[in-house]
Structure 1
């Protein structure tokens, strides 16, 4: 009987934890939507609570303040990008396939997930004004760079140049009248990604 009671308590605790995680995730997702639609200036306890359909007190319960909420939202966005990069690594078998794979990823970011990408860049740029966000803003670049160099470090200036170029491509795509397709992105990426093999010391991308 005591064992059964403990199992019930554990299940109840797990249920509360799962519910809490769902609510926290809903708040983060709502924050990104508000940032994408109305800008960072619109992020407040009341606006996020309304968007997430939770009590305003929930925001303060899960996050110490607005900066804490923005950091969590940016980190969640970074983790989403990292997950997408992991899926690419599993799918891409040959080095020559990488430019096309990345082109499809970028096309999805500016077409199917345009609002999310706008929100991420709003937060990314906010890091220039709010030091608390800077570590989160750099995370995806650091992780993606380690993929490119196979964790060997590589030539940091070349790596920075590649990611700066990709950021530029995305920003240009977001302000274009017609968002680029994967076919539009691919030739540029095939050129930009030639130094990837230079980083590994084995020649250019075929």
Structure 2
């Protein structure tokens, strides 16, 4: 009996999807290793073991360990940007922002602590490894672009706001008990007080 011919385009798409899944598995494995064992534990062998892939796969998808770490940082940044999009959908008026942000940060610290810890280890590593710095700055640059519906505002105030958010997350990671949204909401309300260009309805 003649077997039906496979569509070459479908086979190509299937291989591409499989390759993307493996690449993402490697990135996720890198973040888990960093969160659990620190940046010093990142190696081809350790990441391959964590991802359950052959060590050669790491070199196939990434030119170097730094290349992998940059990809992990960018993955984390894109996830944060997606979260900001989700927060926009929850906001009906300006005064909603502190509560919405507080709930988001509390969830990041409680439900995704290990991933957040791994991302911040990489974030700090960028101070020593210049190759990681553009990826580390991606979060700040992208998030600042949401302020006032993309119209921006006073640069020092914007920088202070996002520096404070970084500080909240860092303090939350070292706390014995992660803060709740109720703990964080008053802090967020204080932080947005001087940001008078957040006055437009529904804009961060």
TM-score when scaled to structure 1? 0.92
Structure 2 residue aligned with 1:40: 39
| 1:1-206 alignment, distance < 5 Å | 8-196=7-195, 198-199=196-197
Is the contact made by 2:94 and 2:198 (CA closer than 8 Å) also made in structure 1? no
For the aligned residues, what is the CA RMSD?
A: 1.4
Between Structure 1 and Structure 2, how many residues are aligned?
A: 197
Distance across 1 between alignment mates of 2:153 and 2:23: 38
Is the contact made by 2:94 and 2:199 (CA closer than 8 Å) also made in structure 1? no
Distance across 1 between alignment mates of 2:47 and 2:180: 33
Distance across 2 between alignment mates of 1:36 and 1:29: 11
Distance across 2 between alignment mates of 1:51 and 1:104: 31
Shift of 1:193: 1.2
TM-score when scaled to structure 2? 0.93
Shift of 1:199: 3.0
Shift of 1:9: 0.3
Distance across 2 between alignment mates of 1:63 and 1:37: 22
Distance across 2 between alignment mates of 1:120 and 1:153: 26
Shift of 1:153: 3.0
Shift >2 Å, 4+ stretches: 199-202
Shift of 1:144: 1.0
Question: What is the DSSP-based 3-state SS (H/G/I as helix, E as strand, rest coil) of the residue aligned with 1:150?
Answer: helix
Is the contact made by 2:30 and 2:42 (CA closer than 8 Å) also made in structure 1? yes
Is the contact made by 2:33 and 2:50 (CA closer than 8 Å) also made in structure 1? yes
Query: Greater relative contact order (Cα 8 A, min sep 6): structure 1 or 2?
Result: 2
Distance across 1 between alignment mates of 2:177 and 2:152: 37
Deviation digits for residues 12-64 of structure 1 (CA, Å, limit 9, x no counterpart): 00000000000000000000000000011100000000000000000000000
Deviation digits for residues 144-166 of structure 1 (CA, Å, limit 9, x no counterpart): 11112322231110001011111
Distance across 2 between alignment mates of 1:86 and 1:182: 19
Shift of 1:80: 0.5
Higher mean alpha-carbon deviation, 58-67 vs 137-146, is at 137-146
Which 5+ residue runs of structure 2 have no aligned equivalent?
none
Shift of 1:92: 1.2
Is the contact made by 2:146 and 2:152 (CA closer than 8 Å) also made in structure 1? no
Which 5+ residue runs of structure 1 have no aligned equivalent?
none
